[in-house]
């Protein structure tokens, strides 16, 4: 059931992908990459990104067989009602955990940097409630907010990154290609978690007037993210060397903090880090949040999704408070997301596409 005013333009699809994928992973990816492959870490990121382009192509292909329908609707045609509802519900659970993970990671950094005495609950709730407001606005609202925040996030981001050029020593990226290919390839699944969020396409393409138009923006968006993450990995490795990069929890934060501006007009860029962090998390949560409420409304069989949004805020808040520490949060994240992401991003589209082809469902 799609309402008349819920339409997303191809440009907004690109923005939704970019803003959903850029999340807390941006700050930590360089460390994982350097740990996996040393100075060749950026190569692992690039390869992971290239694989994701294939995944995105498959998702768009699957969706364009069923124009005007989201995953929750066309999966019923493909697999029947019950399996479809189970899958949709799994989607909701996965994104719920994803949002909780993001919220908690964000809260921890805020508490560490800025608001030591502010209760965790207040930080979390104020973030979730703002997201709730936008999600109630519907799909078009989400498309627009992503479109709006994209320049607000990326222009300062690039400027800040540029200030770090004096820190860099590109000889730190040498020796090139001394890691064995086997090691590089085994590192790819570990980095997949940083690309989590592309799965939202399963739903959002359904709101496009012509799904075939999604190919170009979707692929471009994934290429953009890949370049962005590769650049960050290169910058951090060049600035600190691969050994030191692995020591940091958030290498990008250390990178920005190591910058000292000439003339000391603004001495430290801590505030900038926090605002960038805030924006990345906010948009990720908004995009995923809508899918949770939408999936639940489909599973239950109601027409609207609005009424589920506010109760879900409590669920997210509760789950986000479950991990005891940052270490436990990362342990849980590492135990859940690599599997869910590889399932939803690779296994699911291939299987559904094969069944749909076999049974000649949808328009080809």
Partner 1 sequence: MKAKKSVRLIAVMTLCMLFTTGCWDKIEIEDRLFVLAIGVDKVKKEEQHVTEDRYTLSFVAPVVSEDKEGPAPTFNTYQVVNNSVIMSLSQLLERFSQKQFFGHTRAIFFGEDIMKDEKLFKKVVDGISRYHELHNSMYIYVVPGRAEDVFKVKPKYDKLLMPYITGITENSDYTSNILKLTLSDVIISLTDQKGGLVIPRLIPEKEDVNMSGAGVIKDYKLIGYLEDKEVGAYNRLMNKAKGGYVSVEYNGAAVAFRHFTFRRDIKLSKVEDGKIYLNYNMETEGSIEEYILGQKILDDVLIREVEKKVEKNIETESEKLIKKFQKEFGVDLIGVGDYLSKYQPKLFKTIEGDYDTYFINNIEIKVTADAHIRRVGFIR
Report the site for partner 1 in 120-159 (rule: CB under 8 A): 122, 126
Closer residue to partner 1 in complex, CB, 167/326: 167
For partner 1, which is the closer residue by CB, 263 or 301? 263
User: Which position among 257, 331, 357, 359 is part of the footprint of partner 1 (CB under 8 A)?
Assistant: 257
Return the structure tokens found at 362. Answer: 């949808």
Does residue number 247 form part of the binding site for partner 1 (CB under 8 A)?
yes
Cα distance between residue 111 and residue 362, in whole Å: 50
**Under 8 Å between Cβ of 233 and 42:** yes
CA dist 29 and 346 (Å) reads 21
Nearer to partner 1, 2 or 266 (CB): 266
Q: Considering the rule CB under 8 A, would residue 317 count as an interface residue with partner 1?
A: no
Residue 3 makes contact with partner 1 by CB under 8 A: no
Nearer to partner 1, 125 or 361 (CB): 125
Answer positive or negative: Cα dihedral of 155, 16, 331, 113: positive
Could you tell me the smallest distance in angstroms from the CB atom of residue 235 to partner 1? 14
Closer by beta carbon to partner 1, 7 or else 274:
274
CA distance 326 to 307: 32
Radius of gyration of the chain (CA): 20
Specify the stretch interacting with partner 1 by CB under 8 A; choose among 14-22, 41-49, 81-89, 258-266. 258-266
Burial label for 80, CB within 10 Å (0-12, 13-18, 19+), is exposed
Measured between alpha carbons, how far is 295 from 204 in angstroms, rounded to an integer? 12
d(CA 167, CA 32) in angstroms, rounded, equals 21
**Contacts (CB under 8 A) with partner 1, residues 263-302:** 267-268, 270
Site string for partner 1, 86-115 (x = CB under 8 A): --------------------------xxxx
Binding mask 172-211 for partner 1 (x = CB under 8 A): x-xx--x---------------------------------
* Residues with Cβ within 8 Å of residue 265, at least 6 apart in sequence: none
Contact, 15 vs 144, CB < 8 A?
Answer: no
Q: Report the alpha-carbon distance of residue 202 to residue 173 in Å, rounded.
A: 37
Cβ of residue 278: shortest distance to partner 1, in angstroms? Answer: 16
Which residues contribute to the site for partner 1 (CB under 8 A)? 112-119, 122, 126, 167, 171-172, 174-175, 178, 240-241, 243-244, 247, 254, 257-260, 267-268, 270
């Amino acid at each position: 059931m799609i309402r008349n005013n819920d339409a997303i333009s191809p440009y907004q699809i690109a923005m939704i992908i970019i803003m959903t994928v850029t999340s807390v992973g941006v700050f930590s990816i360089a460390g994982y990459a350097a740990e996996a492959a040393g100075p060749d870490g950026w190569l692992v990121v690039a390869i992971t990104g290239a694989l994701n382009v294939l995944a995105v192509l498959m998702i768009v292909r699957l969706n364009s067989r069923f124009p005007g329908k989201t995953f929750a609707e066309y999966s019923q045609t493909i697999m029947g009602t019950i399996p479809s509802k189970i899958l949709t519900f799994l989607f909701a659970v996965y994104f719920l955990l994803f949002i909780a993970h993001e919220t908690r990671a964000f809260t921890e950094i805020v508490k560490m940097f800025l608001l030591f005495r502010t209760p965790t609950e207040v930080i979390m709730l104020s973030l979730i409630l703002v997201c709730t407001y936008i999600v109630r606005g519907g799909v078009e609202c989400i498309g627009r907010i992503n479109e709006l925040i994209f320049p607000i996030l990326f222009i300062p981001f690039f400027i800040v990154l540029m200030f770090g050029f004096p820190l860099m020593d590109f000889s730190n990226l040498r020796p090139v290609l001394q890691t064995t290919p086997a090691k590089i390839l085994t590192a790819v699944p570990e980095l997949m978690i940083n690309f989590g969020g592309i799965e939202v396409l399963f739903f959002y393409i359904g709101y496009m007037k012509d799904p075939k138009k999604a190919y170009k923006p979707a692929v471009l968006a994934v290429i953009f993210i890949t370049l962005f993450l590769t650049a960050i990995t290169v910058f951090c490795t060049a600035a600190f060397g691969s050994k030191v990069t692995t020591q940091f929890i958030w290498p990008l934060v250390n990178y920005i903090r190591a910058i000292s501006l000439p003339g000391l007009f603004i001495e430290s860029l801590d505030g900038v880090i926090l605002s960038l962090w805030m924006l990345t998390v906010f948009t990720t949560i908004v995009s995923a949040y809508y899918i949770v409420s939408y999936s639940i409304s489909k599973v239950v069989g109601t027409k609207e999704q609005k009424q589920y949004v506010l109760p879900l805020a409590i669920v997210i808040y509760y789950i986000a408070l479950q991990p005891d520490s940052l270490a436990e949060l990362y342990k849980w994240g590492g135990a859940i997301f690599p599997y869910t992401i590889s399932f939803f991003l690779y296994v699911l589209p291939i299987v559904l596409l094969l069944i749909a082809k076999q049974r000649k469902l949808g328009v080809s």
